[in-house]
Amino acid sequence: MLSFIRKLLFFSLYGILSFTIYWGIFYAYKSQLVNNNLIKIASYRTLILGDSQLQRLETDLIGDSTYNFASSGESYLVTYHKLLRLIEQNPGKFNAVLLGISVHSFAPTYNRLMNVDFFDGQSSLERYFYFLPLSVSWTFAHHEPSRLFKSIDKTTEWGGAFSSFRSNPDSSIINETLRSHYGIQKNEGRFCDEQSLYLKKIDSLCIAKQIRLVLVTCPYHQDYLSKVDSSYIIHYQTVLSSLRTKAHISFLNDLVRPEWMSDACHLNRSGSAFYSMRIKQALDSMNPTVYFP
């Protein structure tokens, strides 16, 4: 039996060693690829960050040196680490960050994006694995460590500008979006507190690094907004008022033409062109002291 245990231990040790070397090399290689891409972003001065709502903005209409780094279903935890990584690698290169914020930013759907027990959380970890420090990924997936290994060879989600040509979403699309944003599963909280926490961290980080943080709220389809529980709107306003940054461009209450919406909460190409221009105008008219406290 001792021979069996000894050989089993050797087999395990060889295995652990081989896998550690393999994964270590693979991780280092892919991290380097991500770093190289991040360095390229340093040629821009303004960053657009946030989820898919901000992805729809027409970057060229907002400013010459603007890079759209927003990504679909991105939580503030990921945004914070992306920004931190960019700033650490390119200190003093960025002047301003346009960050998406909206009512659904604190909805239960974001709880699932931070929980690997859900498909959304697993996908989130895999897509943003190389933007997150290993310690954060571990906290994410410590109860299911195989998720970390599965994420190593997954493609990193870069996001970026995305246009849609769809328009006039019907009520089924709007209701489905409402359900996916606000439906509560497996006793999760009504609000995603992690989102508020990391939003405040982004706020503090921008202030500390002297980067102008401008919050941007894109419009929703009217039918969507009218059906959102008022407690979420109140929560969104409460979180906004708790931030030190007061620069906020909001189109929340705009009555957007349905032909400008590709679905319940995303502008299509036409709507995006219009609102990108309005963001540009708002930024130009903004007193610099407002958006840099």
Partner 1 sequence: MLFNSIDFAIFLPIVFAIYWLIGNRKGQNAFIVLSSFVFYGWWDWRFLFLMVGTALIDFWVGVRLQNQHDSNRRKRLLTLSMCANLCVLGFFKYFNFFQTNFVEAFRFFGHEISPTSLQIVLPVGISFYTFQAMSYSIDVYRRKLEATHSVIDYLAFISFFPQLVAGPIERATHLLPQFQINRTFDYANAVNGMRQILWGLFKKVVIADNCASIANTVFENSASMPGSTLLIGAIFFSFQIYGDFSGYSDIAIGTSRLFGFGLMRNFHFPYFSRDIAEFWRRWHISLSTWFRDYLYIPLGGSKGNIWNKVRNTFIIFIVSGFWHGANWTFIVWGLLNALYFLPLLIAGKNRENLDVVALNRLLPSVKEAGQILITFSLSMLAWIFFRAESLTHALTYLNVLFSSTLFHAPDTTLIPQLKTASVLLFFFLCLEWHGRASEYAIEKLLLNRHRFVRFVFYYLIIYCIVTLGGDQQEFIYFQF
**C-beta of 10 vs 158, nearer to partner 1:** 10
Helix (H) or strand (E) holding 284, with range, is helix 269-285
Shortest Å, Cβ 51 to partner 1: 21
Give the binding range for partner 1 (CB under 8 A) out of 12-20, 36-44, 53-61, 80-88: 12-20
Shortest Å, Cβ 84 to partner 1: 28
Structure tokens at 164: 């849609």
How many residues interact with partner 1 (rule CB under 8 A)? 17
Structure tokens at 129: 């694995």
Q: Strand pairing of 66-68 and 96-100?
A: unpaired
Structure tokens at 221: 């389809």
Concatenating the DSSP letter of every residue in 112-174 gives HHT-TTSHHHHHHHHHHGGGS-HHHHHHHHTTSTHHHHHHHTSPPP-------------HHHH
How far is residue 26 from each of residues 128, 130, 134, 153, 267, measured CA to CA in Å?
Answer: 16, 12, 14, 8, 38
- Among positions 117-146, residues that touch partner 1 (CB under 8 A) are 119, 122, 144, 146
**C-beta of 55 vs 122, nearer to partner 1:** 122
Give the binding range for partner 1 (CB under 8 A) out of 4-12, 212-220, 257-265, 276-284: 4-12
**Which one, of 93, 76, 114, 103, lies nearest residue 204 by Cα?**
76
**C-beta of 29 vs 241, nearer to partner 1:** 29
Of 30, 85, 150, 246, which one interacts with partner 1 (CB under 8 A)?
A: 150
How far is residue 272 from each of residues 62, 225, 259, measured CA to CA in Å?
Answer: 11, 18, 11
Shortest Å, Cβ 118 to partner 1: 10
| Per CB under 8 A, 15 contacts partner 1 | yes
Of 153, 170, 176, 259, which one interacts with partner 1 (CB under 8 A)?
A: 153
Shortest Å, Cβ 257 to partner 1: 29
Residue numbers at the binding site for partner 1 (CB under 8 A)? 1, 3-4, 8, 11, 14-15, 18-19, 119, 122, 144, 146, 149-150, 152-153
